[in-house]
Structure 1
């Protein structure tokens, strides 16, 4: 009886669908702009995502643009994890050269990636306001700063 209760409780499927499985497989989350979704902003974040996906060392990228910052969270292929500092340095250099007017927060941390995917999923909900999304993005950025 106890074993069946544990199994049923363990199989509970609450929470977002994509974020739960995003650590295991490639999810390719859609780049998201919080607030104004102008063509210029959408083109910018799609361009950023395309540039980052060009790195052969990576297999998944999440891009979220807030009012002032652009969060780029990515996952590194397993055998490339020894070169993470070099990959991040190369990525920062590319982003700063190509988009000098933008402020990028770049992270390879899985927790940051999960939070970015979850934010993207929440933004699909019409009840989730831009103010809430910006607040969540700032919390993710704070989390990134605490990790460094």
Structure 2
């Protein structure tokens, strides 16, 4: 194959690989809490496209990405889910946000797989939710 035929193919493959930013639904639990309820709640909610949940010690952080037409109701959706999760897990400090920064930071924290820094980083992520943008 000549370079002229190979170059467009490589370009298209790189373009398609760059477009796949889907995180899906991830749940990491380092406690003895039952996380199946969280997964079920988030997967059954048709308004949510992606979600990352981290449960560690006395904290639960959920970062959400809502569907395109629901983006104007992001805060309302996050607030509703936060109330439901607080009812399910009354002994945990629940933080839910549909802000993409929280989703990405939580996902990055999970991928590093360093449980020693979870508590410190989770406090920073919770502070991100509380700050006004």
Please indicate the TM-score interval, normalised by the length of the shorter structure: 0.7 to 0.9
TM-score by length of 1: 0.67
Query: Residue 98 and residue 115 in structure 1: after superposition, are their counterparts in 2 closer, same or farther (change >3 A)?
Result: same
CA contact (8 A) 1:49 1:61 kept: no
Runs of 5+ unmatched residues, structure 2: 1-17
Q: Partners in 2 of 1:147 and 1:66 — Cα distance?
A: 25
Question: 2:26 aligns to what SS in structure 1?
Answer: coil
Q: How do 1:1-148 residues align onto structure 2 when only pairs under 5 Å count?
A: 25-33=21-29, 37=30, 40-41=32-33, 44-123=34-113, 128=114, 130-147=115-132
Work out which of the two has the higher radius of gyration on C-alpha atoms and give 1 or 2.
2
How far off is 1:28 after superposition? 2.1
Tell me which protein shows more strand as a share of its residues.
2
TM-score by length of 2: 0.74
User: How many residues are treated as equivalent by the alignment?
Assistant: 116
Q: Partners in 2 of 1:67 and 1:97 — Cα distance?
A: 18
CA RMSD of aligned residues (A): 2.3
